[in-house]
Amino acid sequence: MSDWRRVRLHVVTGKGGTGKTTVAAALALALARDGGRVLLCEVEGRQGLARLFDTGPLPYEETPVAVAPGDGDVLALAIDVEAALMEYLQMYYRLGRAGRALDRFGVIDFATTIAPGVRDVLLTGKVFEAVRRRGADGEPVYDAIVLDAPPTGRITRFLNVNTEVAGLAKVGPIRRQADAIMRLLRSRGTAVHLVTVLEDMPVQETTDAITDLTAVRLPVGGIVVNQVRDSPLDPTTRKSVTEGTLAPRELLPGLAATGLEPHGETVPAALISAAEEHVERLEREEQLTGEVEGLGQPVYRLPHATEGIDLGALYELADALCEQQMA
């Protein structure tokens, strides 16, 4: 049973370099299992999803990118802000010729890049539309939407479109739209998941983001600790490395048994110094694990993929998320 079964909008953020796009994709695959239909959205124009799923640049169109075990579907959408504005205008105002004129007068460019907040209202607005869309049978078209959101440093401002727009539009349709989006984002149907790795700055940013999100009443979801590595050291060896009691010569019989040339004690000494750095990092990682677990949110762990992420690795990560009941 998933920890987030009420949630239909999963927002995934994280510090740059922590792998939030990978986690968003794995979560989408996990949620799509056993007949699910999941939309995975990106909003930063980086085409990160296309690269991850090894396909050509995604158009502004919901495109199937992967199937999940048990007849599930993942569709991806790269939300383009200008296209979203035109679509919005057509949908709500049936602008016709005036819509095209907007572009001619540079209004589209103006509205999407300079008018503060409008950009984010449009990007989150498209996600909002997908969450609420219903098919002919009256059922939601998607079982879940996963948003590969901007990084932690910008996430609260991005999601808190209301305040951004409030400074600008106090009444009118843009304001009404912003209010409706905020109601969805603050509801129990939304969770903002945070991706981190066990390093100082990403964990600090995760902590800060939780404070910021909570302050504006946005629902914090799970914390995904990405790129976790198990230590190959047994407890006794780890202890002797930590305490500095492992002497290079103690490794010589072992190396001799493998047939590796120790070059005097050069090789064992280098192996020990590498292990010392390894142990130092392990200790820091354990402290940081403690900090992450103390944040009061469910924590999920994903293993490090030494060889990089390909489609096969994504399915393995999706499995890991299912096993830990994130999906």
Partner 1 sequence: MTSTRARGRTRRFDVDALLDDPATRILVCCGSGGVGKTTTAAALGLRAAERGRSVVVLTIDPARRLAQALGLRELDNTPRPVDGTGGSGDLDAMMLDMKRTFDEVVEQHASPDKARQILDNPFYQALSSSFAGTQEYMAMEKLGQLHAQAESSGSWDLIVVDTPPSRSALDFLDAPEHLSSLLDGRFIRLLLAPARGPARLLSAGFGAVTAALNKVLGAQVLTDVKTFVAAFDTLFGGFRQRAEHTYALLQESGTAFVVVATPEPDALREATYFVERLRADRMPLAGLVVNRVQPDPLPKLGAWLAEEAALRLAEHHPGEHDAAAGLLRVHAERARIRHRQDRLRRGFTAAHPQVPCVEVLSLPGDVHDVAGLRRVGTLLSTGLAAG
Q: Which of positions 293-322 make contact with partner 1 (CB under 8 A)?
A: 306-308
Stretch that binds partner 1, among 31-39, 141-149, 272-280, 315-323 (CB under 8 A): 272-280
Q: Which of 9, 10, 11, 18 binds partner 1 (CB under 8 A)?
A: 18
Could you say whether residue 267 binds partner 1 (CB under 8 A)?
Answer: yes
Q: Which of 105, 136, 290, 312 binds partner 1 (CB under 8 A)?
A: 105
- Number of residues forming the site for partner 1 (CB under 8 A): 83
Stretch that binds partner 1, among 2-10, 34-42, 135-143, 264-272 (CB under 8 A): 264-272
Whole-number Å distance between alpha carbons of 154 and 149: 9
Site string for partner 1, 120-139 (x = CB under 8 A): --------------------
111 vs 182, which CB is nearer to partner 1?
111
Could you say whether residue 1 binds partner 1 (CB under 8 A)?
Answer: no
Contact yes or no for 62/39 (Cβ under 8 A): yes
Extended strands (E) in the chain: 9-14, 37-42, 63-68, 72-78, 144-148, 190-196, 220-228, 299-303
Whole-number Å distance between alpha carbons of 93 and 242: 68
β-bridge partners, 256: none
For residue 213, give the 3-state DSSP assignment: helix
Residues 229-258 touching partner 1, rule: CB under 8 A, are 229, 231-234, 236-238, 240-241, 246, 250-251, 253-255, 257-258
42 vs 73, which CB is nearer to partner 1?
42
Comparing C-alpha atoms, which of 56, 53, 102, 59 is closest to residue 73? 53
Whole-number Å distance between alpha carbons of 236 and 232: 12
Q: Which of 27, 38, 75, 102 binds partner 1 (CB under 8 A)?
A: 102
How crowded is residue 189: how many other Cβ atoms within 10 Å of its Cβ? Answer: 16
Say if strands 144-148 and 9-14 run parallel, antiparallel, or are unpaired: parallel
For residue 233, give the 3-state DSSP assignment: coil
Could you say whether residue 110 binds partner 1 (CB under 8 A)?
Answer: yes
Question: CB of 45: closest distance to partner 1 in angstroms?
Answer: 7
141 vs 166, which CB is nearer to partner 1?
166
Comparing C-alpha atoms, which of 30, 29, 35, 27 is closest to residue 70? 35
188 vs 229, which CB is nearer to partner 1?
229
Q: Which residues contact 245 (CB under 8 A, 6 or more apart)?
A: none
Residues 154-213 touching partner 1, rule: CB under 8 A, are 157, 164, 167-175, 199-201, 204
Torsion of CA 70, 35, 224, 117, to 10 degrees: 150
34 vs 286, which CB is nearer to partner 1?
286
Could you say whether residue 44 binds partner 1 (CB under 8 A)?
Answer: yes
Q: Which of 6, 34, 35, 46 binds partner 1 (CB under 8 A)?
A: 46
Q: Which of 67, 91, 215, 270 binds partner 1 (CB under 8 A)?
A: 270
